[in-house]
Amino acid sequence: MAEKLKRLGLRTVRDLLFLLPIRYEDRTRIQPISGAQPGRKVQIDGMINRARIIMGRRRSLICALRDTSAEITLRFFHFTRQQQAGLRSGTRLLCYGEVRQGPRGLEMVHPEYRRLGESEAAPVEDRLTPVYPATEGVTQPRLRKLAGYALKNAMDDLPELIPQRHLSRLRLPGLLEALRAVHRPPRGMALETLLSGQHPARRRLALEEILAWHLGLRRLRETGQQRNAVALRPEGGLRRKFLARLPFDLTEGQAKAIAEIDADLARAAPMMRLLQGDVGCGKTVVIAAAVLAAVQSGRQAAVMAPTELLAEQHMRTLSDWLEPLGVRLAWLVGGMPRAERRAFEAQLAGGDAQVGIGTHALFQEAVEYRALGLAVVDEQHRFGVHQRLRLVEKGQADAAIPHQLVTTATPIPRSLAMTFYAGLDISAIRDMPPGRRPVNTALVSQERRAKVIERVAAACRAGRQAYWVCPLIDESEHIESSAVEPTYRELRDALAGIRVGLLHGRADPRQRDQVMADFASGKLSVLVATTVIEVGVDIPRASLMIVENAERMGLAQLHQLRGRVGRGEEESHCVLMYRSPLGQIAKERLNTMRNSNDGFEIARKDLALRGAGEILGVRQTGALQFRVADLVRDGALAEPAQRIADDMLRSNPNEVEQLISRWVGEGDRYAQV
């Protein structure tokens, strides 16, 4: 059980308290059968009128259940002889389940039920029934029981950490009251407010989580500032040669960002800087310039990317740029064979490699750096806080810690930035390399797929290159290839004489590297891929992007994907294919994509649409994942959180520590790295 619970991030009994229900069921009332509506879940109490087995397409047990108001059908496809015996005519049942329209009127398929004595009072719950996020092998009743246990036994040593005066001012309840309310809402509590996150109990917990992260970030800054870093010399032969060899001039934004970074690096205190700039603005050049400052000063640099694919690409780009200058690079991703991993570790520990590139594997225990001077977290997720915590620890031995540069393409509103990027100085690149032309975006229904394929064929014959992206049906590894393979085969057959490649995240790193290299060199004309290509991939000659099932993707993700084209001289096109009918919000999202190429504009729209109540069925790139808080919904809590943080740092330093470890604590920190 412990193993299974770990998948939900649950390690201690106390963790159970912070696993919040995703919805609730109302079993506090019994409804007349006549009031049942398709699509709704209800609890009913009635007598079985008739029961029989029918042999339709599937053998099933059918019971007619009647109360004083009406009759409904219960349908069971799986049942034991014993269950069948218990469902005889004349039996009284208390049932809970979803109502649907059956072939002959309303029915419930496999309702939860229990038999009642003829004159027994129906046992209704006095609280709403919580439904928790599911994980394989742990049933809802089990989770409910565990949560109940935690509510009984883990509350005593759960101190209130937010000073009462702040809670009173915001009219928010204490911690224990809030936890009880969300796990065991009393009958009659307004479900809508609880689920929309507007309920004070939810807001109270969200506030605490935001506050904890804010404090954690600020503490990271403070501990950093108390430590030394090795001052790096940004100017020097390497930098000069690098810039001279680049096939382009820096944009103003790039030059300014580099100057800001240089000023930080030259100090003996660790840099903690966020580099923000829209997809395609050229952040990699800035990273390279910073890396060279470390190398020039006899120090090492580490560059971490969120996906293996991006790490591989950084390896290619950075070796193209830096190896001719005599810089030695090494790379590491998760799936590498042990021997290569060892070699990598040895190169960094011995100082043979001056630059290490990889995924989060870079900051695992076994990786020791001889003299790490700069750590870059590219396209950071979850603020890269976990990785940065690890880094501060890695530096402990010689008291100097590395300079830190974190990059992101995800713009967030100012009010949120104050809190979520607390403790980071910000450099923003607001311009694009010259000659970029906006990508033309078209929305095309799935029904015209054949036409789209024809267009791709014609374009490829004219020498163009295209990405064809299929979304993941499911994030599990088996499905990942099956999401793209049929499309790959279809296109390969339909595009006679055109070379088509296939790419997905689970492929062997070397194979993937080869496919990317072939696409980059023009050997492949079409690259069929999952959304693995969404972050960072940079192949300027590709000028066509086809996205299937675009209606299922979030705006941030679509913007990232489209950002893969429009990087070269050629006019670029993006075709967003959708399946009809489109929901209102999906329609607005796709229209936003058609009408705008501006990342800030799109992010604003994204927040507005999500704020409008969209349920996120899709992973958002760079999404900031919290246990309780939601970046959009709880945005208004960012300011109060900051005020409370100021106050607590002055007057409640002990609580600050506890608060951070409660939400950003040990277990979590290592799990995420």
Binding mask 278-297 for Mg ion (x = CB under 5 A): -----x--------------
- At 586 the three-state DSSP class reads helix
**CB 281, min distance to ligand ADP, A:** 5
Beta pairing class for 500-503 and 526-529: parallel
Residue 236 interacting partner from ligand ADP, Mg ion, none (CB closer than 5 to 8 Å by kind) = none
Question: Which of the ranges 176-184, 281-289, 383-391, 638-646 carries the binding residues for ligand ADP, by CB under 6 A?
Answer: 281-289
Beta pairing class for 129-131 and 23-25: antiparallel
CA-to-CA separations, 519 to 284, 349, 546, 567, 616, in angstroms, rounded: 20, 34, 16, 15, 33
- At 121 the three-state DSSP class reads coil
Residue 567 interacting partner from ligand ADP, Mg ion, none (CB closer than 5 to 8 Å by kind) = ligand ADP
Question: Which of the ranges 250-258, 360-368, 514-522, 570-578 carries the binding residues for ligand ADP, by CB under 6 A?
Answer: 250-258
Residue 403 DSSP code? E
**Which two structure tokens, joined as six digits, stand for 198?**
């507007």
Question: CB–CB of 126/28 below 8 Å?
Answer: yes
Which residue lies nearer to ligand ADP by CB, 150 or 281?
281
Question: CB–CB of 538/566 below 8 Å?
Answer: no
Question: CB–CB of 265/290 below 8 Å?
Answer: yes
- Between CA 190 and CA 187 the distance in angstroms is 9
Question: CB–CB of 621/555 below 8 Å?
Answer: no
Among candidate residues 335, 339, 337, the one with its CA nearest the CA of residue 360: 335
Which residue lies nearer to ligand ADP by CB, 250 or 585?
250
Question: Which of the ranges 63-71, 507-515, 529-537, 576-584 carries the binding residues for Mg ion, by CB under 5 A?
Answer: 529-537
In this chain, which of 77, 149, 248, 600 binds ligand ADP, going by CB under 6 A?
A: 248
Residue 251 interacting partner from ligand ADP, Mg ion, none (CB closer than 5 to 8 Å by kind) = ligand ADP
Distance of CA 25 to the CA centre of its chain: 27
Facing residues of 428 across strands?
Answer: 276
Question: CB–CB of 482/561 below 8 Å?
Answer: no
- Between CA 431 and CA 580 the distance in angstroms is 37
- Between CA 533 and CA 531 the distance in angstroms is 5
Tell which positions 409-448 bind ligand ADP, by CB under 6 A.
Answer: 409, 433
Which residue lies nearer to Mg ion by CB, 303 or 546?
303
Question: Which of the ranges 117-125, 205-213, 249-257, 390-398 carries the binding residues for ligand ADP, by CB under 6 A?
Answer: 249-257
Question: Which of the ranges 196-204, 280-288, 297-305, 447-455 carries the binding residues for ligand ADP, by CB under 6 A?
Answer: 280-288
- Between CA 41 and CA 96 the distance in angstroms is 7
536 lies in the binding site for Mg ion (CB under 5 A): yes
Q: Which residue sits closest to ligand ADP, CB atoms considered?
A: 282
Among candidate residues 638, 122, 179, the one with its CA nearest the CA of residue 421: 638
Question: Which of the ranges 276-284, 398-406, 487-495, 513-521 carries the binding residues for ligand ADP, by CB under 6 A?
Answer: 276-284
Q: Which helix (H) or strand (E) holds 433?
A: none
In this chain, which of 43, 91, 129, 251 binds ligand ADP, going by CB under 6 A?
A: 251
- Between CA 205 and CA 260 the distance in angstroms is 38
- Between CA 438 and CA 285 the distance in angstroms is 22
65 lies in the binding site for ligand ADP (CB under 6 A): no
CA-to-CA separations, 299 to 187, 288, 375, 399, 549, in angstroms, rounded: 63, 14, 11, 15, 46
Question: Which of the ranges 19-27, 206-214, 269-277, 528-536 carries the binding residues for Mg ion, by CB under 5 A?
Answer: 528-536
**CB 362, min distance to Mg ion, A:** 17
- Between CA 468 and CA 290 the distance in angstroms is 34
In this chain, which of 95, 285, 332, 484 binds ligand ADP, going by CB under 6 A?
A: 285
**CB 359, min distance to ligand ADP, A:** 16
Which residue lies nearer to ligand ADP by CB, 411 or 536?
536
In this chain, which of 200, 282, 306, 509 binds ligand ADP, going by CB under 6 A?
A: 282
Which residue lies nearer to ligand ADP by CB, 224 or 566?
566
Buried-exposed string 450-465: b where 16+ CB fall within 10 A, e elsewhere: eebbebbbebbeeebb
Task: Provide the strand spans (E) within 77-150.
Answer: 92-102, 105-109, 112-116, 129-131
Which residue lies nearer to ligand ADP by CB, 317 or 591?
317
Question: Which of the ranges 243-251, 291-299, 304-312, 597-605 carries the binding residues for ligand ADP, by CB under 6 A?
Answer: 243-251
Say how many residues make up the chain.
673
In this chain, which of 106, 116, 231, 250 binds ligand ADP, going by CB under 6 A?
A: 250
Q: What is the 3-state secondary structure (H, E, C) of 464-524?
A: CEEEEECCCCCCCHHHHHHHHHHHHHHHHHHCCCCCEEEECCCCCHHHHHHHHHHHHHCCC
Residue 277 interacting partner from Mg ion, ligand ADP, none (CB closer than 5 to 8 Å by kind) = ligand ADP
Question: CB–CB of 330/351 below 8 Å?
Answer: no
Question: Which of the ranges 15-23, 172-180, 361-369, 535-543 carries the binding residues for Mg ion, by CB under 5 A?
Answer: 535-543
- At 282 the three-state DSSP class reads coil
**CB 243, min distance to ligand ADP, A:** 11
Question: CB–CB of 544/573 below 8 Å?
Answer: yes
**CB 536, min distance to Mg ion, A:** 4
Facing residues of 502 across strands?
Answer: 528
Tell which positions 392-411 bind ligand ADP, by CB under 6 A.
Answer: 409
Which residue lies nearer to ligand ADP by CB, 129 or 621?
621
567 lies in the binding site for ligand ADP (CB under 6 A): yes
Residue 220 interacting partner from Mg ion, ligand ADP, none (CB closer than 5 to 8 Å by kind) = none
Tell which positions 522-541 bind ligand ADP, by CB under 6 A.
Answer: 536, 538, 540
Question: Which of the ranges 66-74, 278-286, 454-462, 496-504 carries the binding residues for ligand ADP, by CB under 6 A?
Answer: 278-286
**CB 378, min distance to Mg ion, A:** 6
Which residue lies nearer to Mg ion by CB, 536 or 622?
536
**Which two structure tokens, joined as six digits, stand for 111?**
């309702």
Which residue lies nearer to Mg ion by CB, 380 or 525?
380
277 lies in the binding site for ligand ADP (CB under 6 A): yes
**φ and ψ at 349, to 5 degrees?**
-70, -35
**φ and ψ at 375, to 5 degrees?**
-120, 130
Which residue lies nearer to Mg ion by CB, 207 or 290?
290
Residue 517 interacting partner from Mg ion, ligand ADP, none (CB closer than 5 to 8 Å by kind) = none
**CB 538, min distance to ligand ADP, A:** 4
Which residue lies nearer to ligand ADP by CB, 281 or 507?
281
**CB 278, min distance to ligand ADP, A:** 7
253 lies in the binding site for Mg ion (CB under 5 A): no
- Between CA 174 and CA 167 the distance in angstroms is 7
**Which two structure tokens, joined as six digits, stand for 381?**
């997720």
Query: In the complex, which residues of this chain contact ligand ADP (CB under 6 A)?
Result: 248, 250-251, 254, 277, 279-285, 409, 433, 536, 538, 540, 567
Q: Which residues would be at the binding site for Mg ion (CB under 5 A)? A: 283, 536
